[in-house]
Amino acid sequence: MTTSRRTILAAGMAAAGLASLAAPHVTRAQQRPPRQARMVPHGDLSVLDPIWTTQNMAAYHGAMMYDTLFGIDGNFNPQPQMVGKTNISADRKTYTFELRPGLRWHDGTAVTARDCVASLRRWQVKDGAGTHLFARVADTPVVDEKTFRIVLKEPYGLLIEALAKTSTPMCFMMKAEIAATDPNTQITRHIGSGPFKFVEAEYRQGSRVVYERNPDYVPRSEAASGIAGGKRVLLDRVIWNIMPDAQTASSALQDEFGLAYLFISHDLAVVEHIGHRIAVMYLGRIVELAPKDRIFAQPQHPYTEALMAAAPIANPKLRRKRLVIEGDVPSPMNPPSGCHFHTRCPYAEARCKQTYPPLQEIAPGHFVACHLRSKDTAAAA
Ligand code: SF4
């Protein structure tokens, strides 16, 4: 595959959570009560070194607390982030980068060119684009406290794109003494220069990750775009509530926000696990709708009955009563007349070919579309 600027940049833009850092507004904390946001991420934050791993969770963590030399804007173009000025020599083999003023680590010390060179050298060992770039690097001299160079053996047109890319591992900057850690060993100190500080004392793997706003962070003056531009932070604290069990996470969302969601699946075991109210569809129409417990205990529509009979039981000694339905599923573009299920239904009668049965309530909250089902049959079941 040919490595192009777009493939390098596009690969990481799926990290949508990163864009939330670049919100176009600022409010002073002392004029309002503290504001915090809580989120339930899709996974656990088990690795705190975003260079050591390619895990997206580690990259999200990195984007909260670290900064990058360049960032990708909303048009997939790299833009300077920690870098203030860039100079490219006429032969395109020497890139000189000067850091913008005001950059500080979370421990209060200034970000230096030496820190950035050490970070680049550790990152390139772990990252494919970095390795590709550094195969052409002759030297990375530090010019002064704020200036360093990347000197190439030959021109390399993707240099800035590689530094800006959002695919993992991203090129996060770390303090030189931390970046001196063997690239194949995880770092043990977590000091970034990004818009949020990692609150290590509140970190509980598998449970909770906390970040506090970095009051010393100086955002760029440009408008936010993608993960480039001014990262103006609106929140004082961000809390990740880690919930490895999807059922626990969805129940928490439902309890707190009264959230309802539609879940579509062919897997009855999953449906039974997470659903409250179940609608069974055949050829695009609802044929049965009922509370979960009732529909699994007393399926009334023949198609639902067949589905339940086909669901495996996690006990080799138990067998369900089988209801085999024959034939292929008709085309939804040209469904059969009358009840769409009549070509496969073992109970089909003459009227089933003529008239589509209405969805009618046969018991409180239990609706069925079948000529053979009614309140009377439900009461007798
Ligand atoms: S209406 Fe007739 S064909 Fe349709 S599900 Fe009921 S019995 Fe079967």
> Does the pLDDT of residue 12 top 50, yes or no?
no
Beta bridge partners of 85: 98
Under 8 Å between Cβ of 40 and 252 = yes
- Predicted confidence band of residue 9 (pLDDT cuts 50, 70, 90): very low
- For residues 322 and 196, membership in a common domain is answered with no
Residue 27 burial (CB count, 10 A): 13
| Segments forming the whole domain that contains residue 287 | 268-380
**Which parts of 111-146 are beta strand (E)?**
137-139, 142-144
The best mutation among 281, 349, 362 to test binding of ligand 1, ranked by most ligand atoms within 8 Å of the C-beta, falls on 349
CA distance linking residue 148 with residue 125, whole number of Å: 19
The best mutation among 323, 352, 362, 367 to test binding of ligand 1, ranked by most ligand atoms within 8 Å of the C-beta, falls on 352
- For residues 277 and 232, membership in a common domain is answered with no
Q: Is the CB of 191 under 6 A from ligand 1?
A: no
Q: Is the pTM of this model over 0.85?
A: no
- Predicted confidence band of residue 322 (pLDDT cuts 50, 70, 90): confident
Beta bridge partners of 94: 151
Q: Is the CB of 342 under 6 A from ligand 1?
A: yes
Domain boundary pick from 228, 252, 276: 252
- Predicted confidence band of residue 66 (pLDDT cuts 50, 70, 90): very high
The residue type found at 365 is G
Mean pLDDT of 229-240: 94
> Does the pLDDT of residue 217 top 50, yes or no?
yes
- Predicted confidence band of residue 55 (pLDDT cuts 50, 70, 90): very high
Q: What is the pLDDT of residue 28?
A: 52
Range with lowest mean pLDDT among 3-12, 55-64, 131-140, 196-205: 3-12
The best mutation among 370, 374, 377 to test binding of ligand 1, ranked by most ligand atoms within 8 Å of the C-beta, falls on 370
The per-residue pLDDT for range 17-53, each reduced to its tens digit, is 444 444 444 445 456 788 999 988 888 999 999 999 9
The torsion angle over the Cα atoms of residues 205, 210, 216 and 217, rounded to 10 degrees, is: 80
Q: What is the pLDDT of residue 214?
A: 97
Q: Is the CB of 347 under 6 A from ligand 1?
A: yes
Q: What is the pLDDT of residue 80?
A: 98
Question: 242: helix, coil or strand?
Answer: coil
- For residues 141 and 222, membership in a common domain is answered with yes
- For residues 243 and 303, membership in a common domain is answered with no
Cα separations (Å) of 4 from 106, 170, 172, 313, 330?
A: 35, 17, 22, 51, 46
Tell me the two tokens of residue 9: 């940049």
DSSP 74: T
Task: Give the closest residue to 323 by CA, choosing from 339, 341, 305, 311.
Answer: 305
- For residues 162 and 48, membership in a common domain is answered with yes
Closest ligand 1 atom, residue 342 Cα: 3
Number of domains in the chain: 2
- For residues 216 and 364, membership in a common domain is answered with no
How far is ligand 1, taken at its centre, from the CA of residue 284, in Å?
A: 16
Question: 274: helix, coil or strand?
Answer: helix
> Does the pLDDT of residue 1 top 50, yes or no?
no
* CATH for 127: 3.40.190.10
Q: What is the pLDDT of residue 181?
A: 98
- For residues 272 and 226, membership in a common domain is answered with no
**Would residue 259 count as lying in a domain?**
no
- Predicted confidence band of residue 11 (pLDDT cuts 50, 70, 90): very low
> Does the pLDDT of residue 380 top 80, yes or no?
no
Range with lowest mean pLDDT among 134-143, 320-329, 356-365: 320-329
In the numeric block, the tokens 């001014």 are attached to 230
Mean pLDDT of 204-221: 95
Q: What is the pLDDT of residue 29?
A: 47
Residue 178 burial (CB count, 10 A): 20
Q: For the purposes of burial, counting CB atoms within 10 Å of the CB of 269, is it exposed (0-12), middle (13-18) or buried (19 or more)?
A: exposed
The per-residue pLDDT for range 326-359, each reduced to its tens digit, is 888 888 888 999 999 999 999 999 999 999 999 9
CA distance linking residue 165 with residue 6, whole number of Å: 10
The residue type found at 245 is D
- For residues 99 and 219, membership in a common domain is answered with yes
> Does the pLDDT of residue 272 top 90, yes or no?
no
- For residues 138 and 233, membership in a common domain is answered with yes
The per-residue pLDDT for range 81-106, each reduced to its tens digit, is 999 999 999 999 999 999 999 999 99
Q: What is the pLDDT of residue 246?
A: 72
